[in-house]
C-alpha cells in the first residue's frame, strides 16, 4: 500500500484569493475607466471587502451554491468583485460575451439557466434584447457606469445589492457565508465562441482557476508579480480575461482596467497614465497599437512613455512575426506569443526562449518566439494524424493538437460535444500543428480554416504572416475560396496602412520569395478592415460567406 504524505488536504479556492488580497495587499491600486473616460480609483482591500458584501447581498436575493449568475460587463472593478464574490458563495460567475448577437445570448442564458444578471448600465440596450431569456423576477443588478439614475423599477442598483460591511475581518477570514470548501466545485462558466454549431459551456472549477493563476505567475510564463500594473485588454467576458484578474489577486499585482476604451490611442494613453508594466490582448489590438506608435514616431512625437512596460502578451490568434519584430526593433518593446483556448481556461503554451534555444543563435530564437510556445507546467500535449496515430515531435509532422491537464475541460456543460474528447482522456483542440523536438508548438491552421487545393494543404497562417510583413499591409487574412478545378484556392483579404497601397503583382512577388507558386492566393481583396469576430479575432467565416464563391463567378 502507498504510504500517504502527511500534508493537509487544503482546498484551492477563490475564497482564499479574496482573503489573501484583502489581508496582504489592501493598498494596491485597482483602477477602472468608465465610458466617459472618468477614472475610479479603488484598491485590493476595498475590492475584496465589496466582493464579500456582494456574496452576502446575492445570498439575500436567494442566490445559492450551484446557481449561475451572469455578467454582461466591460473590464472594471465591479466585474472583478463579481469574479471573486460570486464563486465565494459557491455560485458560478457566468460571463456573457457582449459582442455576441442577441440570438446567441438568448440561447446561452437559457442553456445556462442563469438565475440573475449583473449588467453595465451602458449595456442595457443590448440586455433589453435578450432579457426574456432570464426567468421572470430574476434579479437584474445594474452597475451604474453611466452615473444616470435607473429608470426601470425592476432594476436594482449594484451598490444597493452590496450588503452592509461587517466588522474588520480577521486575517485570511473567508466571506461569512462561505460554506463549501470543495476545490472541484464549479466557479465560472464561459461559452465558446462557437463559429460552428451552438456555443458550448466550459465549466471551470476553483482548483483549475487557482492552479492556472500560479502558472501565470511563473517567470517563464507571464511572470505576474506584486510590482506589476496589469492591463487586461482581453475582455473579462472572454476566457476570464486569460485568468489575469485571478493571477493579480494571487500575487497582489495592481490592475488598470480599460473599460470600453479599446482603440489604440485610448489604450496607449491609459498605459502611459497608469504606468502599465504588463498587458495582454489579441493581435488585432496590437496591430493597431503598433501602427499608432509608428505614426507617432514618424511625426516626431513622443506622446507616450512606455518605459515601464516589461511585456505584452499576444494570443488568441496567430501573432505575425512582423508585429513582434516591429515592437521590438522600432520601439524596444518586448512582446511574447502565447496560445490558449476557452477549454484550457485558457493558457496552454507560452513562447518563452529556453537556454537550449538561445544557444542555437538568432534564427532559432526568432523561430521560437514566433511559435505558439512550449506547454505550461502540467499541460500535456500531443498531435495526431487523421487515423489518430500520435505523431513525432520533429517539427515537420502535422496533425491535430490534443491536450490534457488540471485546467483542461474534461467535458462540456450538459455533456455536449462528446466527440471533442478522446477515450484516453485528451481534449481535441481542432488546431493543426507541428511540435519540434524542444516542445515548441506551431499552429499551421485551425482545422476548419485549412485551405486544401488539389489535395495539397496550404497554411493560411503562414501566408498571412508573410503578407503582414509587407510594409504597406496593416492586416491580412487568407481563407479558402471554392474553385472548380482544385476544389479550393487561397484568397487574401488585405487592409493597407493609411496612405499606402500595393498592387496584386507586388503582393504576389512578395509572397513568391517564400512560398511555392501554387500557394499564392488567386485574388487579393481590398478591405478597409478585416472583419472581426466576437473576441476580436479575424472572422474567416464572414470572408468565406462574402467572397468564397469569387472564383466560381469569374
Q: Which residue among the candidates 343, 475, 483, 488 is catalytic per the annotation?
A: 343
Q: Which CB sits closer to ligand AMP, 277 or 429?
A: 429
- For residue 29, list its beta bridge partners: 43
Residues making contact with ligand AMP (CB under 6 A): 192-193, 239, 315-318, 337-342, 346, 372, 429-431, 443, 446, 535
**Residue 495, strand partner residues:** 475
Q: Which is nearer to ligand AMP, 87 or 346 (CB)?
A: 346
Coil, helix or strand for 290?
helix
Shortest separation between residue 128's beta carbon and ligand AMP, angstroms: 26
Closer to ligand AMP by Cβ: residue 430 or 548: 430
Nearer Cβ to ligand AMP, position 231 or 401? 401
Cβ-closest position to ligand AMP: 342
Residue with Cβ nearer ligand AMP (142 or 202) = 202
For residue 427, give the nearest of 447, 405, 449, 444 by alpha carbon. 405
Alpha-carbon gap, residue 101 to 98, rounded angstroms: 8
Minimum CB–partner distance for residue 145 and ligand AMP (Å): 25
- Residue 334: count other Cβ atoms within 10 Å of its Cβ: 13
Looking at residue 4, what DSSP letter applies?
P
For 483, the enclosing helix (H) or strand (E) is: strand 473-483
Closest separation in Å from C-beta 305 to ligand AMP: 28
* 452 belongs to the catalytic site: yes
Judge whether 52 counts as a catalytic residue. no
CB of 399 to ligand AMP, least distance (A): 14
CB of 123 to ligand AMP, least distance (A): 20
Is 81 annotated as catalytic?
no
Geometric angle at alpha carbon 154, from 150 and 159, rounded to 5°: 55
To which H or E segment does residue 216 belong?
helix 206-217
- Among candidate residues 303, 448, 457, 503, the one labeled active-site is 457
CB of 534 to ligand AMP, least distance (A): 9
Helix (H) and strand (E) counts for the chain?
18, 25
Q: Given 13, 192, 204, 342, which residue is catalytic?
A: 192
Decide: residue 148, CB within 10 A, 0-12 exposed, 13-18 middle, 19+ buried. Answer: exposed
The nearer residue to ligand AMP, 346 or 521, going by C-beta atoms, is 346
Report whether the peptide linkage leading into residue 346 is cis, meaning its omega lies within 30 degrees of zero.
Answer: yes
Q: Write down the least CB distance from residue 52 to ligand AMP, Å.
A: 31
DSSP label of 373: B
Can 200 be counted among the known catalytic residues?
A: no
Nearest to 381 by CA among 369, 367, 371, 393: 393
Report the C-alpha gap between 192 and 412 in whole angstroms: 10
Torsion of CA 319, 325, 327, 330, to 10 degrees: -160
Please name the residue that has the C-alpha cell 440596450. 125
Q: Which is nearer to ligand AMP, 260 or 280 (CB)?
A: 280
From CA 530, how far away is CA 538, in angstroms rounded? 6
SS3 state of residue 23 = helix
Which residues participate in catalysis according to the annotation?
192, 343, 452, 457
Amino acid at each position: 500500500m502507498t504510504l500517504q504524505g502527511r500534508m493537509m488536504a487544503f482546498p484551492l479556492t477563490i475564497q482564499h484569493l479574496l482573503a489573501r488580497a484583502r489581508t496582504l495587499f489592501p493598498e494596491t491600486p485597482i483602477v477602472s475607466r468608465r465610458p466617459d473616460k472618468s477614472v475610479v480609483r479603488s484598491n485590493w482591500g476595498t475590492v475584496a471587502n465589496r466582493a464579500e458584501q456582494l456574496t452576502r447581498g446575492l445570498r439575500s436575493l436567494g442566490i445559492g451554491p450551484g446557481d449561475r449568475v451572469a455578467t454582461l460587463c466591460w473590464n472594471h472593478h465591479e466585474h472583478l468583485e463579481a469574479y471573486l464574490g460570486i464563486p465565494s458563495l459557491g455560485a458560478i460567475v457566468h460571463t456573457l460575451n457582449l459582442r455576441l448577437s442577441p440570438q446567441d445570448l438568448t440561447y446561452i442564458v437559457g442553456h445556462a439557466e442563469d438565475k440573475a444578471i449583473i449588467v453595465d448600465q451602458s449595456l442595457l440596450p443590448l440586455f433589453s434584447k435578450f432579457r426574456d431569456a432570464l426567468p421572470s423576477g430574476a434579479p437584474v443588478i445594474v452597475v451604474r457606469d453611466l452615473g444616470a439614475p435607473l429608470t426601470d423599477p425592476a432594476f436594482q442598483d449594484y451598490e444597493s445589492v452590496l450588503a452592509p460591511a461587517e466588522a474588520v475581518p480577521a486575517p485570511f477570514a473567508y466571506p461569512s457565508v462561505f460554506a463549501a470548501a470543495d476545490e472541484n466545485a464549479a466557479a465560472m462558466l464561459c461559452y465558446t465562441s462557437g463559429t460552428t454549431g451552438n456555443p458550448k459551456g466550459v465549466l471551470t472549477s476553483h482548483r483549475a482557476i487557482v492552479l492556472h493563476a500560479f502558472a501565470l505567475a511563473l517567470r517563464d510564463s507571464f511572470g505576474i508579480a506584486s510590482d506589476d500594473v496589469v492591463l487586461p485588454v482581453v475582455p473579462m467576458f472572454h476566457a476570464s480575461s486569460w485568468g489575469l484578474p485571478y493571477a493579480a489577486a494571487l500575487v497582489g499585482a495592481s490592475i488598470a482596467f480599460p473599460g470600453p476604451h479599446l482603440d489604440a490611442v485610448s489604450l496607449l494613453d491609459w498605459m502611459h497614465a497608469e504606468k502599465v508594466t504588463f498587458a495582454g490582448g489579441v493581435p488585432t489590438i496590437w496591430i493597431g497599437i503598433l501602427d499608432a506608435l509608428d505614426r507617432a514616431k514618424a511625426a516626431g512625437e513622443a506622446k507616450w512613455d512606455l518605459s515601464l512596460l516589461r511585456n505584452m502578451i499576444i494570443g488568441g490568434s496567430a501573432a505575425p512575426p512582423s508585429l513582434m519584430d516591429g515592437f521590438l526593433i522600432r520601439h524596444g518593446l518586448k512582446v511574447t506569443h502565447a496560445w490558449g483556448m476557452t477549454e484550457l481556461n485558457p493558457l496552454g503554451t507560452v513562447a518563452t526562449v529556453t537556454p537550449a534555444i538561445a544557444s542555437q543563435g538568432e534564427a532559432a530564437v526568432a523561430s521560437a518566439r514566433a511559435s505558439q510556445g512550449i506547454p505550461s507546467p502540467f499541460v500535456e500535449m500531443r498531435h495526431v494524424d487523421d487515423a489518430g496515430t500520435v505523431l513525432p515531435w520533429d517539427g515537420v509532422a502535422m496533425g491535430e493538437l490534443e491536450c490534457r491537464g488540471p485546467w483542461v475541460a474534461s467535458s462540456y456543460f450538459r455533456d455536449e460535444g462528446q466527440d471533442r474528447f478522446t477515450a484516453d482522456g485528451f481534449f481535441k483542440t481542432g488546431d493543426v500543428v507541428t511540435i519540434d523536438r524542444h516542445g515548441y508548438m506551431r499552429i499551421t491552421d485551425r482545422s476548419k480554416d485549412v485551405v486544401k487545393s488539389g489535395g495539397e494543404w496550404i497554411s493560411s497562417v503562414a501566408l498571412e504572416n508573410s503578407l503582414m510583413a509587407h510594409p504597406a499591409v496593416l492586416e491580412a487574412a487568407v481563407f479558402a475560396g471554392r474553385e472548380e478545378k482544385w476544389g479550393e484556392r487561397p484568397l487574401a483579404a488585405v487592409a493597407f496602412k493609411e496612405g499606402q497601397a500595393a498592387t496584386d503583382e507586388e503582393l504576389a512577388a512578395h509572397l513568391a520569395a517564400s512560398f511555392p507558386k501554387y500557394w499564392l492566393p488567386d485574388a487579393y481583396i481590398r478591405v478597409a478592415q478585416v472583419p472581426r469576430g466576437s473576441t476580436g479575432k479575424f472572422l474567416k467565416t464572414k470572408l468565406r460567406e462574402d467572397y468564397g464563391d469569387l472564383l466560381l463567378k469569374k
